[in-house]
Structure 1
Amino acid sequence: MSSVSKSRAWDVRRPPSDEGKVVLVTGGNAGIGYFVAEQLAATGVVVVLGSRSAAKADAAMAAIRSRVAGARLRHLPLDLADLSSLKAAVDGSGLDRLDAVVHNAGVALDDPPRQETPDGHELMFGTNHLGHFALTRWLAPLLSAAPAGRVVTVGSFAARSERLDLDDPQSTRDYRPKRSYGRSKLAQMCFGFELDRRLRAVGSSVLSVVAHPGGALDGLTPSRPPVHVTKPGARLRAWPAGLLVQGKEAGAWPVVRAVLDPDVRGGELWGPRVFGLRGIPRREPVPSHMADRSVATRLWTVSCELTGTDSRLGFPSRQAL
């Protein structure tokens, strides 16, 4: 079946039921992550919200429950900027399997100065990429315990115009916030594609898929108090942009499809249909700079060194990854 025909059959507002599956959404308390969590909860999925803040997670869960009767939700305290805390967080999760993880949480800075994580990594690269890279290592046994686990990495349209500088991955020499953000998302996406190649090479049942929300604006996002409230003035100002971009509820659609659609394959990229910026989800060609294996291999090595992680990431294998 072609991706076009699959897209027509897929109803973004009524995804198929997936009763009982367990999905972790990092940063599920706000933004795209909140709407991913809400939409997954509506299908019967047990949604685990990974969030540093218990108060924000509680607010998000209350908002979801007000819209999804019987929603099954949990909070997992999770700080992706603190690599040393991740193993303990996963060990304390109480989970015996994980059907999918959505690597969504992220930091976006608009202005200098350059900031660092507690581990001394540039904040955006350290949180957005290194945090998820290291988290995957500790989630590997849980994902492998599921019949068909998935790692869904949420990228960004901003990554299309960036290129990685692996001689200076942490922007120590020339820090520009927007560029560093785009590169951190590009690193995430390259990781997602490389992870799937390595999982396929060892015959793993786990798939790695990359998705992005396109252009997703707060002003076009429906209100979900107290998590998000769109004021009439903000909606009016954002209305002309709606010809090209969309709100965060729609931005979650490609991610939800990447998690739930049984026809999605590992190594695929999913995004909005219209210029990659808005509309229902479709499978997209992977840009050449994201599919460059030499760059991905070097990024993998750098990421292992910076996180102190074994190159196999803990997935069962017949050979070294």
Structure 2
Amino acid sequence: MKATAPRHQPWDVRRPPRAEGKNFLVTGGNAGIGYFVAEQLAGTGATVVLGSRNPAKAEAAAASIQSRVPGARILQVRLDLAELASLRRSVEALKLDRLDAVVHNAGVALDDPPRRETRDGHELMFATNHLGHLALTRWLAPLLSAAPAARIVTVGSFAAKSERLDLDDLQSTEGYRPKRTYGRSKLAQMHFGLELDRRLRAVGSPVTSVVVHPGGALDSLTPSRPPVQVRTSGERLRGLPAGLVVQGKHAGAWPAVRAVLDPRIEGGELWGPRVFGLRGEPRREPLWSHLTDTAVAAQLWDASCDLADIDPNLGLVA
């Protein structure tokens, strides 16, 4: 009896499908997980745009990718998510006719206790990690709508799993604690990605929104990419025990890369590492219980659009 081929080939994180002719934007693509998302997407033949607030770091990242991926098509755009008023100009500078996917990856985490604000008076982590990506989506809307089936991929954080939003204090004006504020800012962004997909589906848009998280991703377990990422032998040895539980940032990029490229992934899904959500190849996860609260997501949406002075339809869900 002749064996039949499987309906779907298993996903290979090291050999993703080709994507020639497509345009992908990765925010924060010059460092960390964003760099490895960009490097892996560049290997598919797509044009990858590195969104970075530091042109010199973006140039170094582009050179690193091009040295490892022959023929890589890399563009750069200055992108400062903490400066909401600058984002429209950044999108205009792209000079693209369409965008097949954006990976909302960039973020800032503050270790020092003092609370910091942007020029607009927003708490820095909430503004950069959440409000900036919301506003960026608004200005990217025409480019995303011009693609046949564009995808918006939001990179959350495992740190958000243990947090809950305080809708009366979204910007941590009271009881500010850096780690909690960071986790809540990423939780807000994950709520945004899921609420966005609900609204896109409600109007029959071909654009979809997917949420991912990298699990536990450490520098000590990340391969070197000088000068972007440098890991010494000592750091590698010290990080080996942690490798039983977590992984490097190259592996932390896998859920986002799959969410961009795999046509079987549907909007409104959550993807993360296979082993306890901390390490391993990407898999679909059940939505965390607090991420299923659509009332919180809707209230956050309205409050965030008001804070960012953005039309709640975002140009995508009109």
What is the TM-score when the length of structure 2 is the normalising length?
Answer: 0.97
Q: Cα deviations across residues 42-86 of structure 1 (Å, max 9, x unaligned)?
A: 001100000011110000000001100000000011100000000
Aligned to 1:170: 171
For 1:179, the equivalent position in structure 2 comes to: 180
Aligned residue in 2 for 1:299: 300
The one-letter amino acid paired with 2:255 is P
Q: How does 1:63-78 map to 2 (within 5 A)?
A: 63-78=64-79
Q: What secondary structure, in the 3-state scheme, does the structure 1 residue paired with 2:183 have?
A: helix
Farther off after superposition, 54-63 or 8-17: 8-17
* 1:154-165 map, 5 Å: 154-165=155-166
Distance 1:7 1:189 in 2: 28
Where does the alignment leave 5 or more consecutive residues of structure 2 unmatched?
1-5
- Quote the Cα distance in structure 2 between the aligned partners of 1:8 and 1:129: 35
Shift of 1:118: 1.5
Letter in 1 for 2:229: H
8 Å CA contact 1:7–1:281 kept in 2: the answer is: no
Shift in Å at residue 168 of structure 1? 0.4
> What's the counterpart of residue 210 of structure 1?
211
Residue aligning to 1:32: 33
Partner of 1:242: 243
> Does structure 2 conserve the Cα–Cα contact (< 8 Å) formed by 1:144 and 1:316?
no
Please say if residues 199 and 317 of structure 2, whose CA atoms lie closer than 8 Å, have aligned partners that are also in contact: no
Q: Percent identity?
A: 73
Amino acid in the other structure paired with 2:94: S
> By how many angstroms is 1:96 displaced?
1.2
| Aligned length, in residue pairs | 313
User: How big is the shift at 1:316?
Assistant: 5.5
Query: In the TM superposition, what is the alpha-carbon distance from 1:6 to its structure 2 partner?
Result: 9.3
Instruction: Quote the residue 2:233 is aligned against.
Output: 232
Counting only pairs closer than 5 Å after superposition, residues 41-120 of structure 1 correspond to structure 2 as 41-120=42-121
Give distance in 2, aligned partners of 1:161 and 1:121.
Answer: 23
Once superposed, what is the RMSD of the aligned Cα atoms?
1.2
- Output the amino acid matched with 2:112: D
Cα displacement (A) at 1:8: 7.3
Q: What amino acid is the match of 1:235? A: R
CA contact (8 A) 2:245 2:278 kept: yes
* Deviation per residue, 1:220-269 (Å, 9 max, x gap): 00000010100111111111000000000000001000000010100000
Change in Cα spacing, 1:137 to 1:6, as seen in structure 2 (3 Å) is farther
- 1:74-113 per-residue CA deviation (whole Å, 9 max, x = no partner) reads 0011100000000111112101100000000000111210
Amino acid at match of 1:277: L
Deviation at 1:12, TM superposition (A): 0.2
Specify the SS of the correspondent of 1:9. coil
Structure-2 residue corresponding to 1:268: 269
SS of structure 2 residue aligned to 1:111: coil
Q: Distance in 1 between matches of 2:236 and 2:242?
A: 10
Q: For residues 254-297 of structure 1, give each alpha carbon's deviation from its aligned partner in whole angstroms, at most 9, with x where no partner exists.
A: 10000000101000001000000000000000012112110000
Query: Would the alpha carbon gap of residues 298 and 278 (structure 1) be closer, same or farther in structure 2, given more than 3 Å must change?
Result: same
Please tell me the residue identity of whatever aligns with 1:98.
L
Does the 8 Å CA contact 2:200/2:317 hold for their aligned counterparts?
A: no
Provide the rounded CA distance (Å) in 2 between the counterparts of 1:259 and 1:92: 23
* Equivalent residue, structure 1, for 2:3: none
Decide whether the 8 Å contact of 2:64 with 2:225 is kept in 1. yes
Task: State the partner residue of 1:314.
Answer: 315
Structure 1 runs, 4 residues or longer, greater than 3 Å off: 5-8
Q: Are 1:7 and 1:280, in contact at CA under 8 Å, matched by a contact in 2?
A: no
SS of the residue aligned with 2:25?
strand
What stretches of structure 1 of length at least 5 have no aligned partner? none
Matched, 1:193 2:194: yes
TM-score in terms of structure 1 length? 0.96
**Counterpart for residue 259 of structure 1:** 260
